[in-house]
Structure 1
Amino acid sequence: MTTLLDRPATAVASRPPAQRTAARRARLVRLSFWVPAVLYLAVFFGYPIAANVVMSFQDYTVTSFYRGGAPFNGVANYAHVLGDDLFSGTLWNTVVFTVASLVFQFAIGLGLAVFFRRHFPLSGVLRALLLLPWLLPLLVSGTVFRWLLDQDYGVVNQVLMNLHLISDPVPWLVSPDYAMTAVVLANVWIGIPFNMVILYGGLQSIPPQLYEAASLDGAGSWHKFRHVTWPLLRPTTSVVLMLGLIYTIKAFDVVMVLTQGGPAGATQLLSTWSYQLSFTELHFGQGAAVGNVLIVIATLCALVYLRAVRAEQSENER
């Protein structure tokens, strides 16, 4: 007597050889797509992260390159980093830089996406021009802003002085009071195109019939945005903010080109501090520890995002 548990095996065994060969071939094809991706992640992501974690528990210095080993020192690197007076200030700078960049990038990008949703002459050309900051290498963008914000011959100070908005040049890059503003401005300029493109794509997916129905009900522009655009754009908004958070929290190039973490640590981020510990002070274990702290923070943010998305999906299904 054949039970329910025996039926799948019996059915498989009773298949013709041609069908079994086709099924085996289909599994091999699926496996051929999985293996390269898994190998790529293991080699270029898994191994560096594992090596960084191991290094953070070692007293890894310059001599380790020549002797080929580094003594295990437990959590000494983490204790030194977390107990350093620079840690709290660097963590605060990272939070300020990330939050300010995300807020202004998203707000301006959303405004531009809504603006370009209207069709007008040369709209495509203008959208293409606005993509330039995103396409340029970050080192080039940082160099451009270093020239624009220079205290003595920078274009920004010259324009502000000609408009009589300031009487003396502003030390954007050499004053602790203005340096964070300068790096945030540069990072916002770089991130606006990304936000605009993704949000513009989300706006294009909203059916125009909804706006027509809202107009028939007497809704104005603000009510259309509040009750039609924003609710339907929420999934795209979540993706944009999450990706922007990941990109911003590990920002490095722009800050290094503009201020190198200075002046007096006013723009020192976790990423730049990790670089300074590793390649300036040559304390590779401590630099790896700071890098791991940054990875943990980014992972926690991603988990919070995923939990919020699942909660929203469960509410929509009810």
Structure 2
Amino acid sequence: MSETTTRTEPAAATAEHAPRERKGPGRRRLYQWLFVAPALVYMLAFFGYPLVRNVLMSFQEFTPRTYFTGEAPFNGLDNWRGVFDNDLFGDALWQTILFTVGSLVGQFTIGLALAVFFSRRFHLSGFVRAVLLLPWLVPMVVSAVVWRRIMDEDHGVLNSFLGTIGLSGDGVPWLSSPSVALLSAILVNIWIGIPFNMVILYGGLQEIPRELYEAASLDGAGPWRTFRSVTLPMLRPVVTVVLVLGFMSTIKILDLILALTGGGPADSTQTLGTLTYQLSFLQLDFGQGAVVGNVLILISAAFAVLYLRVNRADSPGK
């Protein structure tokens, strides 16, 4: 009798704990979702809903009257055709590409050079780095207004300096010439973005083991060979972050161009960001403004996915 009881007790215990074990993974999954739920609600409310609303608006006849009546009838692809048939859209797209590529190349190149320079410690290096952060800390509108005064054709400090050293006698029309205004906007944006690139790349350089540089030196590698074979490969993940974030922030810039040139002269500095503003808030055509906004979102998403995939394919062990 006791032997039978002894045999049945483990079976009973197993049967008693079996449902609890089956409930364990489900309960853990529930707890995981509960922890994630606040973030999901936040993302859906502040990112998902505006994105869906913007897509729907691009297929609607959305005007100021809509805010009073609530009526925004669907008009199919009329908004999209209106934007793509607009000659200004093609110019704005091309100028956005030039502005973005020029800004990224300038910011990254100078930022990397400064990061490499400051990786060699010297007296007052920390103070100089702190001073170079100032353009990044100043609001973009303030920077644009200051540079607008600096680049003034008649009374600007820049033309006065160039005239003093004999490089420009009549003064360069930095912001009043259609052929120069976009370049001026690119130069100002490069000045603003250099500190961000320098700080992130400097942090990445500090994470590279010194032993790799010592091994390269023992192998007889010069500075340029060491930079190509050691620094750049080890810095690739940081470079990815810098370029992707730089692209996302540059392609949609609005306040800098509005405060610097207002999109002029002769629409020579119109970008997709300023075109969205012009269509939505000056012409009050919110449907077409939403179309340009969706184009910006698609370009940004395509760049991020493409660049991250290429970087992952080129990384070791993938």
Task: Give the alignment's TM-score, normalised by structure 1.
Answer: 0.90
Unaligned runs of 5+ in 2: 1-12
Q: In structure 2, what is the equivalent of residue 130 of structure 1?
A: 132
Q: In structure 2, what is the equivalent of residue 317 of structure 1?
A: 317
Q: Deviations 1:90-115 (Å, cap 9, x if unpaired)?
A: 11000000000000000000000000
Q: How far did 1:143 drift?
A: 1.2
Q: How far did 1:33 drift?
A: 3.3
Q: Deviations 1:194-225 (Å, cap 9, x if unpaired)?
A: 11111111111111111112222222211211
User: Are positions 1:49 and 2:51 aligned together?
Assistant: yes
1:14 counterpart (9, 14, 17): 17
Distance 1:15 1:151 in 2: 83
Distance 1:119 1:240 in 2: 23
Distance 1:13-1:260 versus aligned 2 partners, 3 A rule = farther
1:211 counterpart (213, 217, 234): 213
1:108 counterpart (104, 107, 110): 110
Distance 1:72 1:288 in 2: 14
Unaligned runs of 5+ in 1: 1-9
2:60 counterpart (53, 58, 61): 58
Q: How far did 1:20 drift?
A: 9.1
2:232 counterpart (221, 230, 233): 230
Q: How far did 1:30 drift?
A: 3.4
Q: In structure 2, what is the equivalent of residue 87 of structure 1?
A: 89
Q: In structure 2, what is the equivalent of residue 196 of structure 1?
A: 198
Q: In structure 2, what is the equivalent of residue 164 of structure 1?
A: 166
2:71 counterpart (53, 69, 72): 69
Q: Deviations 1:99-138 (Å, cap 9, x if unpaired)?
A: 0000000000000000000111111111111111111111
Distance 1:11 1:195 in 2: 61
Q: Bigger shift: 198-207 or 301-310?
A: 301-310
**SS of residue in 2 equivalent to 1:201:** helix
Q: How far did 1:252 drift?
A: 1.1
Q: How far did 1:12 drift?
A: 11
The residue type paired with residue 265 of structure 1 is D
Q: Check the 8 A contact 2:111/2:198 in 1, yes or no.
A: yes
User: Are positions 1:260 and 2:262 aligned together?
Assistant: yes
Distance 1:13-1:307 versus aligned 2 partners, 3 A rule = farther
Q: In structure 1, what is the equivalent of residue 296 of structure 2?
A: 294
Distance 2:145 2:271 in 1: 19
Distance 1:205 1:52 in 2: 42
Distance 1:107 1:206 in 2: 19
The residue type paired with residue 289 of structure 2 is G
Q: Which structure has the bigger radius of gyration? A: 2
Distance 1:169 1:12 in 2: 91
Q: Bigger shift: 222-231 or 77-86?
A: 222-231
The residue type paired with residue 317 of structure 2 is E
Q: Check the 8 A contact 2:204/2:235 in 1, yes or no.
A: yes
Distance 1:74 1:272 in 2: 25
Q: How far did 1:22 drift?
A: 8.7
The residue type paired with residue 71 of structure 1 is P
Q: Check the 8 A contact 2:182/2:268 in 1, yes or no.
A: yes
Q: In structure 2, what is the equivalent of residue 279 of structure 1?
A: 281
Distance 1:303 1:220 in 2: 36
Q: How far did 1:151 drift?
A: 1.5
Distance 1:216 1:168 in 2: 55
Distance 1:136-1:15 versus aligned 2 partners, 3 A rule = farther
**SS of residue in 2 equivalent to 1:71:** coil
Number of paired residues?
Answer: 306
Q: How far did 1:15 drift?
A: 6.3
Distance 1:149-1:29 versus aligned 2 partners, 3 A rule = farther
Distance 2:68 2:145 in 1: 36
User: Are positions 1:118 and 2:116 aligned together?
Assistant: no
